[in-house]
Amino acid sequence: MSPVLDIDALIGDPQIRIIVCCGAGGVGKTTTAAALGLRAAESGRQVVVLTIDPARRLAQSLGLTMLDNTPRPVKDIDIARGGSLDAMMLDMKRTFDEVVEAHATAEKAEQILANPFYQAVSSSFAGTQEYMAMEKLGQLRLEADRDPDNPRWDLIVVDTPPSRSALDFLDAPKRLGSFLDGRFIRLLSAPAKAGGRAYLKVFSAGVNVVTKTLTKVLGGQMLSDVQTFVAALDTMFGGFRKRADHTYALLSDRTTTFIVVAAPERDALREASFFVDRLDEEAMPLAGLVINRMYRVSAPGLSAARALGAAEELGERESEHSAGAESSGVSEHTAITQGLLRMHAVQAEVAARHESLAKRFIAGHPDIPTAEVPAASGDIHDLVGLRAVGEALAGH
């Protein structure tokens, strides 16, 4: 038996200031983050939930109509214990623009914001979303602690971007960092600086090859856009790098914890395995695994095989009784019972499959606390549904 993930102990621990929910796409990460946030708020914490999802699903489930890069209060939650809940959705481009505006002079900022290369990077570079999610997390944390005696939030719940891989969230800032520190960026920015030529001599003769090739492949105009962009950002790089490092450090801090979310499917659990191993490698704090949408039967005392057998036997008995009479089968109520038994058998098989997938994961990671959330029969898009998920997360 692996340990149970005690959600209430987790959200009740004032030491925990950040909970990061991560996992593959389609496993219910956003719902889990929202449900956790709601439960924490209703247990008395000052919570903000940061979501990064283009489908605006959290907006629906939290009854918000506007998610505009600013935390907005969620209405109709239970505030009897003195908690509060804000929610926001990341606007990647706006976050990037704000970083530029905060770190460059007005004139320079304007220049950067107008650069076509910047516009493309800020709205679509694969990884900007992850980087900006980190940036926003850092900002929220600063904002939370602005007044140490009266923190605006004492818990931040983050839903990670719907990336190609859950690991991208951890990798993107590093990738950007290594690019910013790399030779290529210096090569790009050098010609635009005074004395750039001399600086370039430090490099090998390869520089010429690179510049020539880039001109040939990218075309002169695109290359010069890139160079202008890089030169304009140059002064900000230190800041970028530092902030990325700072947020990354925040993630490995003792006040942060990760929850890996999965569904009882092979692929989702494999992704969860990768993530769990990776967090371990990076010495990042893992609270545990949530397996969502576990199918459960309401009559666990009856096995699939027994139910099927009973359904068949009912049919046989009826046809014995009615032999000679109208041949086609069973009375109406027996048909209903047969239906119930067959349906139960199918559901019991699905439940058994989910159970065995979950068991296999747990066997491979015996020390990781897990919580299972049963599948809901309907979709979740309101506070009532989220509250029920929260209950289930907490094992009630």
Partner 1 sequence: MAPEAESSRDTDWDGVRLHIVTGKGGTGKTTVAAALALALAAEGRRVLLAEVEGRQGISQTFDVTPLGLTEVRIAHAANGGEVFGLSVDAKAALLEYLQMYYKLGRAGGVLEKFGAIDFATTIAPGVRDVLLTGKVYEAVRRRREHRAKGPGAPPAYDAVVVDAPPTGRVVRFLNVNHEVADLARVGPIRSQANSITAMLKSPQTAVHLVTLLEEMPVQETVDTIAELRAVGMPIGGVVVNQVREEILTRNVLGAAARNAISREDVAADLTRVHVRATNAIIDGLLTEARDHAERVNLERDEAQVIASLSRPTYRLPSLSEGVDANGIREMAETLMTQGMA
Residues within window 218-237 making contact with partner 1, judged by CB under 8 A: 218-222, 225-226
340 to 379: interface string for partner 1, x by CB under 8 A: xxxxx-xx-xx--x-----------------------xxx
Residues in the chain: 396
Name which of residues 94 to 123 contact partner 1 (CB under 8 A): 116-117, 119-121, 123
Measured distance between the N- and C-terminal CA atoms of the chain, rounded to whole angstroms:
19
Name which of residues 132 to 191 contact partner 1 (CB under 8 A): 162, 164-165, 175-176, 179, 182-185, 187
272 to 301: interface string for partner 1, x by CB under 8 A: -------------------------xxxxx
**Residue choice 5, 48, 104, 214 for contact with partner 1 (CB under 8 A):** 214
Pick between residue 40 and residue 230 the one whose CB is nearest to partner 1.
230
Pairing between strand 370-374 and 286-294?
parallel
Pick between residue 247 and residue 292 the one whose CB is nearest to partner 1.
292
Output the smallest distance, CB 130 to partner 1, in A: 12
**Residue choice 81, 197, 246, 266 for contact with partner 1 (CB under 8 A):** 266
Site for partner 1 contains 213 (CB under 8 A):
yes
Output the smallest distance, CB 157 to partner 1, in A: 20
d(CA 38, CA 83): 9
Size of the site for partner 1 (CB under 8 A): 82
Pick between residue 128 and residue 257 the one whose CB is nearest to partner 1.
128
Pick between residue 199 and residue 250 the one whose CB is nearest to partner 1.
199
Name which of residues 36 to 55 contact partner 1 (CB under 8 A): 54-55
Output the smallest distance, CB 334 to partner 1, in A: 6
Output the smallest distance, CB 122 to partner 1, in A: 9
Pick between residue 12 and residue 179 the one whose CB is nearest to partner 1.
179
Pick between residue 94 and residue 175 the one whose CB is nearest to partner 1.
175
Long-range Cβ pairs for the range 237-246 (8 Å, 24+): 237/180, 237/185, 239/103, 240/99, 240/103, 240/176, 240/180, 241/177, 241/180, 241/181, 243/99, 243/135, 243/138, 244/131, 244/134, 244/135, 244/173, 244/174, 244/176, 244/177, 245/177, 246/138
Output the smallest distance, CB 108 to partner 1, in A: 21
Output the smallest distance, CB 321 to partner 1, in A: 10
What is the biggest distance separating any 2 CA atoms in the chain, rounded to whole angstroms? 105
Pick between residue 213 and residue 252 the one whose CB is nearest to partner 1.
213
